[in-house]
Structure 1
Amino acid sequence: MRRLLARRMKFHLFGAFFVSVGCAALYKFGVAEPRKRAYAEFYKNYDPMKDFEAMRAAGVFESAQPK
């Protein structure tokens, strides 16, 4: 029973470290990178003036009246 806590603590610390690194890698490659690619693809062809004109024509803005 001697040094049982230290031995178990070492095992759990290493396990927690590897699980957290795995979760971080999973999030980065499963969520963050695809999100970055989606944003890049969206803004590659995005025309803010065209979008503004469409919203203004729909009556979204109170201060900008449609032409």
Structure 2
Amino acid sequence: MSAALLPKPQMRGLLASRLKKHIVIASIFSFGCACLYKFGVADPRKQAYADFYKNFDARKTFEAMRETGIFESAPPKRK
């Protein structure tokens, strides 16, 4: 009588039925990770670069490095 109470185990299509569920879960998880990376890392990084280059003066930076003697081909200006 106890055998009638237990459901029969699934013998065919077990892999296919499990894969459907796990593919959906993996897709949702990967989409969530992609969104977290975009809004948590990529967008703040883009904003930081935009803020830095908003007032960046390449000529001024070059002259400062030139005065310290970093470049061999561009010696410091003589006074």
Using the size of structure 1 for normalisation, the TM-score is 0.94
Out of 8, 29, 36, the residue aligned to residue 26 of structure 1 is 36
Kindly report structure 1 stretches of 4+ aligned residues shifted beyond 2 Å.
none
> Which residue of structure 1 lines up, in the alignment, with residue 74 of structure 2?
64
Q: What is the CA-CA distance between 1:15 and the residue it aligns to? A: 0.9
> Which residue of structure 1 lines up, in the alignment, with residue 24 of structure 2?
14
Q: What is the CA-CA distance between 1:58 and the residue it aligns to? A: 1.0
The percentage of counterpart residues that share the same residue type is 64
> Which residue of structure 2 lines up, in the alignment, with residue 55 of structure 1?
65
Does the alignment pair 1:5 with 2:15?
yes
Q: 5+ residue gaps in structure 2?
A: 1-9
Q: How well do the aligned residues superpose, as a CA RMSD in angstroms?
A: 0.7
Larger Rg, first or second structure (1 or 2): 2
The answer to which structure, 1 or 2, has the higher relative contact order (CA under 8 A, 6+ apart) is 1
Q: 5+ residue gaps in structure 1?
A: none
Using the size of structure 2 for normalisation, the TM-score is 0.81
**Distance in 2, Cα, partners of 1:63 & 1:35:** 34
